[in-house]
Amino acid sequence: MSTPLISLARHWQDANTLALPAALAPWILEPASLTARLKRHCQRFRLQVLQEHSAVLPEFLQPLLPDTTAAQVREVILWCNDMPCVYAQSWLPEQTIATLRPLADLGERPLGDYIFQHQSLHRGTIEAAQLDVMLPQLNIAARCYVRRSVFQLQGQPLLVAEAFLPDISKLEATL
């Protein structure tokens, strides 16, 4: 079992209560699909899978995904106009994957494209924090805003965290 590239062990707060940078607030507070928003703001969108693996659920995530001991972890980069704009880390509990089989075979398909098509989708509170993001394969070492949410899809939980990489500011300039 591998470990995620970026640890989510931080103090998280409700994003609506934070004084967020004006350029990032619309991205962080987006209640709908971040993937869809990115696609609307760039000509060339692609997803790069960094790694996918099974992992024991860390203690700090257990309150968010109760009754879960192991999960599938998926780490991806969302690219816009050949710029890495978002690093996303998803935690899909084994029971969630057993119930929602397509989640096991997303490949290069964005998770958001799958989950946001379902009317049964419920998103919990959007929380935010700042994390040190180190992605040497992309020459990225920066303090970034990150948001996370627990979703319920057909009664099954999954956690998604998204780090807004420095190049996202270049998209904001073109909005």
User: Is 109 labeled as ligand-binding?
Assistant: no
Answer yes or no: are the C-beta atoms of 151 and 122 closer than 8 Å.
yes
Helices within 83-175 (DSSP H only): 94-99, 111-115, 168-172
Q: How far is CA 86 from CA 56, 82, 120, 142, in A?
A: 24, 12, 26, 13
Answer yes or no: are the C-beta atoms of 127 and 147 closer than 8 Å.
yes
Bridge partners for 49 per DSSP? 76
Going 5 to 11 to 17 to 21, the CA torsion angle's sign is negative
Place of tokens 């780490």: 75
Radius of gyration of the chain (CA): 15
User: Is 111 labeled as ligand-binding?
Assistant: yes
Opening angle at CA 114, ends 112 and 118, nearest 5 = 105
User: Is 37 labeled as ligand-binding?
Assistant: no
Residues in binding site for substrate: 74, 111, 162
Residue ranges of the binding site: 74, 111, 162
